[in-house]
Chain A
Amino acid sequence: MLSRTAENLYWLARYVERAEYLARTIDATLRVTALPAAYIGKTNEWDSALLTAGVAESFYQTHEEANEHNVVDYLSFSADNPSSIRNCIEAARLNSRSVRTALTSEMWDTINSAWIELQEVWSKGTSTREDLAKFLRFVQETSLRFDGSAYRTMLRNDAYWFSRLGLHLERADNTARILDVKYHVLLPEEEHVGGPLDFYQWSSILRSVSALTAYHWVYRETLKPWLVADLLILNGTLPRSLASCYDNLVRNLDQIGVAYGRQGPAQRHARGIRNRLEHSNMNDIFQHGVHEFIQEFIADNSRLGEIITKQYLI
């Protein structure tokens, strides 16, 4: 397939995944900040929402302080924020238009309808909490529909695999970022383990990667920070864990390699990361430093993006 087509499919999937992640982040932050101050402490949750979205620096160039009103607007609707939900959907539609021939009509319909709804219903943003909740649900449903129609209607060929690469790479990045910002509340040496403050922080992390229910099924335990970290980093059964993203990345890259009859640096690099995750356990990770581990992962992950681009997309 054309390199440009593969590139568009890859980015299309990334934009949709990012839009959903932003919606989840806002949703989770709204829940935490709705609690009385005693439960959440003095941290500014809207500031950490910006950090997990990776846009804090650009935000503070035009804003004095982070609050619900301006962060929701910045993450959802701002034209100035290149990765606001609106811009993600716009970019996804533009990418879809350039690769219409590689999309199934169901996928196109999902993106095009979302784009039309964005203009017709959400052009002025949201004015009430109810409106915002509706908007966030719309974004999450768009992503689910897109993902579902890709899964159910696409031929299992390189077009599908490149789109999956985008999805899993973005997903791994998102999960890693949330860990990067919140790692301090997961550290076991923190004294008030099990206090109400941490409980809500942990559940908020889990909620933003849609893993709160999963946690209980997997561990059958009350919330414990090292188990939260274990679930998000190493548990291969959770679709948004780093391990699971890398299982998928390795598989999709292998499928491409087999179809093209050639392996390359992307396959080797992805396998390297997956092996590291496979041979880690939480004890080692905590010994080594969660923060360092996550930062290394984020760098490795974005390096994989560069290698894939070089090997296939240009």
Chain B
Amino acid sequence: MAVAFDEMNIPGGDLRPAYQELARWLKETPPEALEYRRQEAELLFRRIGITFAVYGDSESTERLIPFDVIPRIMSGKEWTVLEKGLKQRVKALNMFLRDIYHGRDILRAEVVPEDLIFQNPVFRPEMNGQQVPHDVYVHIAGIDIIRVDAEDFIVLEDNARTPSGVSYMLENREIMMRLFPDLFARHKVAPVERYPDELLSALRSVAPHGASGEPTVALLTPGVYNSAYYEHSFLADKLGIELVEGRDLIVKNNEVFMRTTEGVKRVDVIYRRVDDDFLDPLTFRPDSALGVPGLMSAYAAGNITLANAVGTGIADDKAIYSYMPEIVKFYLGEEPILKNVQTWRCREPKDLAYVLDHLGELVVKEVHGSGGYGMLIGPAATKATIEAFREKLKREPEGFIAQPTLALSTCPTCTASGLAPRHVDLRPFVLTGSKNTTIVPGGLTRVALKEGSLVVNSSQGGGTKDTWILDE
């Protein structure tokens, strides 16, 4: 594996301009002071109750995501490029979804193979020909970005279903401002705090046509036991909207209402953090207790907006991912600004042969997996694990894709033995309303805290950092 691109240091001893002030500050600050603030940050997170649950872990059902106090910094110039690329990508995602569930030009042009859509379990035939309000499918996207050199931003993954993590972007900033006011005074950091406002106006803008002038928005959560519950309650609070569970909603005459102490009240837009499968037991999984019976018929009748729309999984599926550069070109006639990671589609015999020959070097992912579960990291795996995976791969090649083991960029991070480089990625959040697409300058930087590790997922021991975009 090549030496990773470092966000702060240029090989040869120089610093990248965006990090010069931070480096100076670090030199002036004694390590004990840093350690003290680190502990203080942890205490704050715990008191506020910013926790997440790890599935399959009965020991402690609520955990803190480790927070690293060294910010990850990006220059305004770099951000401008990234922002443009993100808008382009999300626009293409929305056009692709609209096309897949309507005219299907892209299939007829044979840019994307048909069976990849129709045989895909995340494709929702219920959405065929269904008009979604204002033609927006992906209102909230979280695009995972990595860097391997100074020039390029590479998309690791599109998250177009119910991406999470934005509460960490906001809380990390709050806590950093509380703990390091001096450091902020020495930088011009673009603020992120308007995210909730932008989200609310995006959600209001996509209300169905029959809604009142002041549409009612609610956030639908699976409940307190969901791993991202803290985020759901945090956002509902910041947006000033009700946090509802399935049992709080009822459908009458194809309209959606919430049960309140004063009787029922109509809901126009649902920011749902419940997966498609659980939304409506009458349409999807009949055993779902999290959903709302009849919700899909209200949706079909055009009386409710769901954000994100149902069926967006077909756009962020890992098998579709490898076609994203072609998808961008097809709809927009532009070259993609953000690159893709080179991807071998195991469904194609030539690619599969290559992957089986190079398992020791590659990262192999389940097409439908997420959260870092069920993937093989070749260079870090034992022989036995690789052989077991080989069998799985042969049995069901269409279930997997493979990518080279990328040297994610590194950023200085607090470790037991002082500051050391650790691998990071970045998830910016892209909001699409009826009129425009906006991105708050920043995002969630995730960091792999273990030395050499490339897995940044919080469920696998990753941490987070505050992300600073300098306003030059």
Contact = CB atoms under 8 A, between A and B. Distances in A.
A94 B259 contact: no
Contacts of A6: 261
B260 A97 contact: no
Contacts of A260: 261-262
A97 B49 contact: yes
Nearest to A161: B261
Interface stretch (A36-44, A108-116, A201-209): A108-116
Contact of B236 (A94, A97, A101): A101
Interface residues of A, number: 23
A258 interface: no
Interface string B242-266: 1111011000000000111110000
B47 A113 contact: yes
Most chain A beta-carbon contacts within 10 A, residue among B236, B242, B261? B261
A158 B261 CA distance: 9
A94 B49 contact: no
Nearest to B221: A98
A160 B234 CA distance: 20
Contacts of A100: 49, 233-234, 237, 243
Size class of the contact patch on chain B: 20 to 34
B46 interface: yes
B384 to A, nearest CB: 39
A2 B46 contact: no
A305 B224 CA distance: 25
A312 B261 contact: yes
24 contacts: A2-B242, A2-B244, A2-B258, A2-B260, A3-B248, A3-B259, A3-B260, A3-B261, A4-B245, A97-B49, A97-B229, A98-B223, A100-B49, A101-B233, A101-B237, A108-B49, A112-B47, A112-B49, A116-B47, A162-B261, A256-B261, A260-B261, A312-B261, A314-B259
**Chain A binding site: helix, strand, loop or mixed by DSSP?**
helix
A1 B233 contact: no
Given A2-B248, A2-B258, 18 more contacts: A1-B242, A2-B259, A3-B260, A4-B245, A4-B248, A4-B259, A97-B229, A97-B233, A98-B223, A100-B233, A100-B243, A112-B49, A116-B46, A162-B261, A256-B261, A260-B261, A312-B261, A313-B261
Nearest to B235: A101
A254 to B, nearest CB: 15
Contacts of B47: 109, 112-113, 116
Interface in B215-230: 223-224, 229
Closest 7 CB pairs of A and B: A100-B233, A101-B237, A312-B261, A3-B259, A6-B261, A97-B224, A260-B262
Interface in B256-291: 258-262
A109 B47 CA distance: 7
